[in-house]
A = this chain, B = another copy of it.
């Protein structure tokens, strides 16, 4: 098929009200949560069935026109930015639950189902879907699969990859395959694990079999205040050394708390340099015992103050403050870069001290809010894009932090993915042979490289590697892309 024949062919496949081609209709699909990247697609298919997705992929494959599937577009790494002049397959209308078996604790969902909707469906049966990205009220399971999303409670429960049992997928060349099944134990190589986190480069998930887990009988949540950030980081190492497995361990520094307090009155301690939020979950007596051991460790870790959530309402407030922290930072600074990196947990205190030193050396404020249990850092680098050079200086610091993560034996991304944003860093983390191996696997699934090309595995030359957006860009006065 010739490239020019694609749109007419899509027109025969998809009703015109669900095949968007006018510039005004395409505009909302030009970018994702990392708004500094922008590209104009040729068309958007609002798919309503797996067959429509499969046929769209096959047509794109035949016409050699790239496509990118997306859900709510909450990606923070540019992973859901369209390929210029390519096709966007929007999956939000594919939000059906195809099967729900509360006894087997399995749900089979379409990719457009919102993360929190799975839990809402499962709740009457005492079950829930464990991975809880901060955007869980809007982000979709398909996107969670593409980026192997994490969340505050993934310390105990594992990432998305640990909760996806099976997938029905259309590969980049239009082949439809089933990966995995209803059980965690499968006979093949772990193709489900290969697909989860592949950022749309292998194909599109059509059906996702999720593992549900029992809602804990009780939660107990403590907020510990520290005089310095490193002490909070070291406390996390001690909890882990003691063999405890809390549901979540999160750290926020002063700046992050200020932002969260301004947005939600979470009740964080007003003078602490950092807070550590630790939550135990499980059966009543067991949680009581674990919580007792935890409180002793925290008391011995130099915490200035410890406060236990009195009830569910207070617990909800603590978490709401934590989950809104990213967006709330906008109250402190006109612009900021959300960084995402990982360090080995045992080196958390060391990493935090290094980031503080970098922040001081550059004279740039950094708010820290992160999944401490996983060693997954989210430094928020604050700057004012109206000041000459401020953006570039913030970029330099963001890159230094990523290189610190690599040097300490960690990763350039914990959950946001490589996307467009971090392509340049992939070759600092992996050598050429490793990246070639990833490319070979991609080519085995998508020989013509039509599935979300240009992301992750490609060098970053063709698009700007910059984060953040100048206010004039945001106002539409100037454009980088």
Minimum distance in angstroms from A449 CB to a CB of chain B: 14
A414 proximity list for chain B (CB < 8 A): 185
Whether a CB of chain B sits under 8 angstroms from the CB of A346 is yes
Minimum distance in angstroms from A57 CB to a CB of chain B: 14
A426 to B188, CA, bound (A): 8
Whether a CB of chain B sits under 8 angstroms from the CB of A465 is no
A193 proximity list for chain B (CB < 8 A): 161, 190, 193-194
Closest 8 A-B residue pairs measured CB to CB?
Answer: A193-B193, A285-B289, A444-B444, A182-B409, A286-B289, A440-B444, A190-B193, A214-B243
Q: Is A186 a contact of B411 with CB atoms below 8 Å?
A: yes
| 17 pairs, A vs B, C-beta closer than 8 Å | A104-B344, A150-B185, A176-B433, A177-B437, A181-B429, A183-B342, A185-B342, A185-B410, A187-B417, A188-B438, A189-B197, A189-B201, A189-B441, A190-B196, A214-B241, A283-B293, A288-B289
Whether a CB of chain B sits under 8 angstroms from the CB of A299 is no
Q: Is B429 a contact of A437 with CB atoms below 8 Å?
A: no
Q: Is B243 a contact of A178 with CB atoms below 8 Å?
A: no
Q: Is B197 a contact of A190 with CB atoms below 8 Å?
A: yes
One complex includes copies of this chain to the number of 2
A422 proximity list for chain B (CB < 8 A): 187
> A residues 322-378 with Cβ under 8 Å of B?
342-344, 346-347, 374-376
Q: Is A177 a contact of B433 with CB atoms below 8 Å?
A: yes
Whether a CB of chain B sits under 8 angstroms from the CB of A171 is yes
Q: Is B445 a contact of A440 with CB atoms below 8 Å?
A: yes
Q: Is B243 a contact of A183 with CB atoms below 8 Å?
A: no
Minimum distance in angstroms from A315 CB to a CB of chain B: 18
Per-residue contact bits, chain A 190-209, to B (CB 8 Å; 1 contact, 0 not): 11011111110110000000
A374 proximity list for chain B (CB < 8 A): 184-185
- What 5 new A-B contacts, CB under 8 Å, besides A187-B426, A189-B199? A178-B430, A187-B412, A242-B283, A285-B289, A289-B289
Q: Which residue of B lies closest to A433 (CB)?
A: B177
A346 to B211, CA, bound (A): 13
Residues of A in contact with B, size category: 35 or more
Q: Is A293 a contact of B286 with CB atoms below 8 Å?
A: yes
Per-residue contact bits, chain A 165-187, to B (CB 8 Å; 1 contact, 0 not): 00000010001111101111111
Whether a CB of chain B sits under 8 angstroms from the CB of A434 is yes
Q: Is A185 a contact of B411 with CB atoms below 8 Å?
A: yes
Q: Which residue of B lies closest to A375 (CB)?
A: B183
A343 proximity list for chain B (CB < 8 A): 183
A283 to B195, CA, bound (A): 37
Q: Is B285 a contact of A292 with CB atoms below 8 Å?
A: yes
Residue in B189, B415, B430, B431 whose CB lies within 8 Å of A188 = B430
Using known A-B contacts A194-B189, A440-B444, determine if residue A283 contacts B183 with beta carbons closer than 8 Å. no
> A residues 15-71 with Cβ under 8 Å of B?
none
A241 to B422, CA, bound (A): 42
A140 to B426, CA, bound (A): 32
A176 to B430, CA, bound (A): 12
Q: Is B410 a contact of A183 with CB atoms below 8 Å?
A: yes
A184 proximity list for chain B (CB < 8 A): 374
Q: Is A437 a contact of B171 with CB atoms below 8 Å?
A: yes
Q: Is A181 a contact of B411 with CB atoms below 8 Å?
A: yes
A288 proximity list for chain B (CB < 8 A): 289
